[in-house]
Amino acid sequence: MLDNKLGISSELELFKEEERITKLKAIELFDTNKIDEFEIGTTKGLCSIHECLFSDIYDFAGKIRKENIAKGNFRFASAMYLDDVLSKIDSMPQDNFEHIMKKYIEMNIAHPFREGNGRSTRIWLDMMLKKEIGMVINWCKVDKEEYLFAMERSPVKETEIMLLLKNALTDRINDREVFMKGIDASYKYEGYSTYILEELDN
């Protein structure tokens, strides 16, 4: 279990509290427009999102990992080369949907943080889409199993995840309900489903 600022020693309790705190932080980002102050499409911007979500929980919030990590049989970018990888991602174009998706796929392969990569990077993706093409993803329309399978295959076949997310685009870029339900859906991909953001927000 990861060391945490909350003094929690139970993995299950940490799992629940992390979900509760970071979901409230996510809606705060939206409500205060703080997220609009972050760089869009850069590692620095992604670190800002991650720090805001996780700073109350982990000392490593917003910091690029120094450890090698893997998920199943897939090893993410080596920590030794991570700075170079992230620099190359920063320089990738983001002027249309396909370019933005390529950048998102590469950032997922990089996996720059010890924890919280998927949740932070999906917000980062939506910020790029919002700025560049005036759209965001309605994550409620993206099936969990289809998404996870497509992301798993994306390093070798990117067309599946591109098509899946393209079909879920919406122009409701400033809709609070779309954002809240999108956060809930995003968290479900990672197994976090104890809290519904709309109930936490009341």
8-55 pLDDT, tens per residue? 999 999 999 999 999 999 999 999 999 999 999 999 999 999 999 999
- The strand pair at 70-71 and 136-137 is best described as unpaired
Q: Which pLDDT band, with edges at 50, 70 and 90, does 71 fall under? A: confident
142 within a domain of the structure (yes/no): yes
Q: Which residue has the tokens 């954002």?
A: 179
Domain that holds residue 164: 11-200
44 within a domain of the structure (yes/no): yes
117 within a domain of the structure (yes/no): yes
Q: What is the CATH number of the domain that holds 39?
A: 1.10.3290.10
Q: Which pLDDT does position 1 carry in this prediction?
A: 77
- B/e letters for 177-186, b = 16+ CB within 10 Å, e = fewer, are ebbbbbbbbb
Cα torsion 149, 139, 123, 90: sign: positive
Q: Which residue has the tokens 């809240």?
A: 180
- Distance between CA atoms of residues 4 and 13, nearest Å: 12
Taking CA atoms, 193 is separated from 18, 41, 51, 187, in Å, by: 11, 28, 22, 7
Is a pLDDT exceeding 80 seen at residue 7? yes
135 within a domain of the structure (yes/no): yes
Q: Which pLDDT band, with edges at 50, 70 and 90, does 74 fall under? A: confident
Q: 73-77, 168-172, 174-178, 193-197: which range is least confident on average?
A: 73-77
Total number of domains in the chain: 1
Task: Please tell me what DSSP assigns to residue 126.
Answer: H
Is 75:111 a contact under the CB 8 Å cutoff?
Answer: no
For residue 122 the two structure tokens come to 């999906």
80 within a domain of the structure (yes/no): yes
Q: Which pLDDT does position 148 carry in this prediction?
A: 95
For residue 123 the two structure tokens come to 């917000």
Task: Please tell me what DSSP assigns to residue 30.
Answer: H
pTM for the full predicted model = 0.96
Give 200's Cβ-side CA count (13 Å radius): 21
pLDDT digits (tens, 9 = 90+) for 146-192: 999 999 999 999 999 999 999 999 999 999 999 999 999 999 999 99
5 within a domain of the structure (yes/no): no
Q: Is 188 helix (H, G, I), strand (E, B) or coil?
A: helix
